[in-house]
Copies of this chain bind each other. A is one copy, B any other.
Amino acid sequence: MYNFAFIPANSMSNNKTAIAEHVASLLLSCGAVILQPEKPFTWASGWKSPIYCDNRITLSFPEIRKEITNLLYQVSMQYFPNTNAVAGVATGGIPQGVLLADRLDVPFLYIRSAAKEHGRQNQVEGSIIPDAKTLIIEDLISTGGSALSSAEALKREGGMITGMLAVFTYGFEQAEKAFADAGINLYTLSDFNTLIRIASQKGMILGNQIDELERWKKSPESWGK
C-alpha cells in the first residue's frame, strides 16, 4: 500500500535535513500531498494553492503515524527538553499531540480555534497546569495564523509556552516573521522546499510543475487570482 525506507531514527537526531527529507518521503508515500495546479485549493486564509498537504492522511498508516510520533519525540527531547505539558491545535494537531504527550508521559490539552459556544465555553480544553512549560503541536504551518492565535489563547488562560513543533511548513516569510514577532520558537519536521526537491528526485513532479509551484511560493497571496 505504501513503500518507503525507514531511516534508523537515532542516526538523524542531530540532522535536521535528514529528518526533513525522511518526513517528505513519508508524506509523499501515503498520498498526503496533492498537486492540483489546474484546480487550485482555497485555504482558510483565502489564498489559492496548487498544492495541498493533508497530514491527516498519515494517521491512517500506523507505521508512518508511529514514525512521525518517534520524530516528534526525539525533536522535543533535543530542542524543547524542559517540556512538561503538550497542547494540540484543534483539530489537526490533536492526534500527534496526544501521542507525543503519551510518550513523554505529561499532561495534554487542546486548543480550539474559537471558544466553544455551549457547555463550559472553553477555548482551551483540559486542565492548565500552572508553571508547566507547554509545547504546542500543529500539523501544518501556512500563514501561522491559527497556530499563533492558539498560542495567544493558551497564554491568555494562564498557560506557559516553551515552543511550537509542527510536522510541515510551507516556509512563507510571512509565517517566519509572525513567529519571530510573537517570540515563539518553531521547529518543523519538514518543509515545502524539501518536499518539492524529494518529489522531483522521485519523478513525481515535472519541470513545468516545479516552475508553477515556485511561482506560487513567491507570491501565494496573488497566485491564481
Residues of A participating in the B interface, judged by any CB pair closer than 8 Å: 30-31, 34, 41-44, 52, 54, 56-57, 59-62, 65-66, 69, 85, 88, 90-91, 94-95, 98-99, 101-102, 105-110, 112, 117-120, 122, 125-129
Contact = CB atoms under 8 A, between A and B. Distances in A.
Contact of A42 (B54, B101, B109, B118): B118
Nearest to A54: B120
A119 B41 contact: yes
Contact of A125 (B42, B56, B85, B101): B56
A85 B98 CA distance: 18
B127 A61 contact: yes
Give the top 9 A-B pairs by smallest Cβ distance, nearest first.
A60-B127, A56-B125, A60-B107, A95-B98, A60-B126, A59-B108, A94-B94, A44-B118, A59-B126
A52 B98 contact: no
A175 B66 CA distance: 36
B127 A30 contact: yes
Contact of A120 (B44, B52, B126): B52
